[in-house]
Amino acid sequence: MTVRVAVAGASGYAGGELLRLLLTHPEVEIGALTAGGNAGSRLGQHHPNLLPLADRELTETTAEQLRGHDVVFLALPHGHSAAIAAELGDEVVVVDCGADHRLNDAEDWTRWYGGDHPGTWPYGVPELPGARERLRGTKRVAVAGCFPTVSSLAVVPALAAGLVEPEVVVTAVTGTSGAGRALKPHLLSAEVMGSASVYGVGGAHRHTPEMIQNLSAAAGEKVKVSFTPVLAPMARGILATCSAPLRGDVDTAAARKVYLDAYGDEPFVHVLPEGTWPQTSSTLGANTVHLQVTVDPDAGRLVVVGAEDNLTKGTAGGAVQCMNLALGLPETTGLPTAGIAP
């Protein structure tokens, strides 16, 4: 089968990563490439690495430009996807890489993003309990946020198995590409290089309610999440350290068994051998999450460390994985598991 695909927001980081993956997808033909302020320019001005598409002109992001495709990826700023999606027919698979359709609770949406809740779509992390079944054959996909992807995959098995109390602490180091391509003074190289800094501290980051939603569903009760993101001097990647108080007598071997049972058959989630810890460099460009789990007996806490590429598994790779499920293709089609190193 040949799947005709459009990418809205093609000049941004997420749009560029989508196109990098789609170029090697054996079932895809790339159609319209659209942008906002960059409409009228060549794609190569923004993504010179995408040589096969470098001479393609970016058009305005309108429903008219996106109609007539089998799949439309919306790599747009938060709050911009819902209006476009509403103009596309039910026959089109729409994959929203923004936050518009991730949250179940309308009050959470209004609190964290403002305005009316645009509705909830099937959630785009196939490895979470029940998610894969909801994604198969769907026409609408809400791609997960990059932090919730790795953090949820790191903690859900422990909560689902009752290993830990519903009180989770997440500290996640990330590269600057997670903030998008718009110019921001605090992301200039002179500000970032040689420095690490926190942001969104004290429950202020918009991905917090998404984590709570995912973890609470796994636990069967409300989970408290304390999330601190850390900006590091690197372009891409997330390293998340997640911990929670143990519930009962659990050792590292028992915890590892839970994780190996949960992810043993997953092609993109890998529990590393004992003594090997995740590092962001191992996941760059790959649609993978690397995990390691241990018990801190003195603190009485489970500690899980996860690494991913925020642009690949954390956004574009997860989006293509969900497209494959929605179309009935093998889930792994066109998705790399080997990272780029050194």
| Residue of 97, 146, 242, 322 marked active site | 146
Give CA–CA dist 262/128, Å, rounded. Answer: 10
Place of tokens 């911009």: 80
Secondary structure in 3-state letters for 228-288: EEEECCCCCCEEEEEEEEECCCCCHHHHHHHHHHHHCCCCCEEECCCCCCCCHHHCCCCCC
User: Which tokens hold the place of 119?
Assistant: 């509705």
Q: Do the Cβ atoms of 172 and 153 come closer than 8 Å? A: no
What DSSP designation does 72 have?
A: E
Give CA–CA dist 177/197, Å, rounded. Answer: 15
Angle at the Cα of 307 (from 192 to 72), degrees rounded to 5? 90
242 is an active site residue: no
According to DSSP, the β-strands at 28-35 and 93-96 are unpaired
**Sequence-distant (≥ 6) Cβ neighbours of residue 304 within 8 angstroms:** 154, 155, 158, 241, 242, 243, 259, 291, 292, 293
Residue in 289, 288, 193, 265 with CA at minimum distance from that of residue 235: 193
Residues with catalytic roles: 146
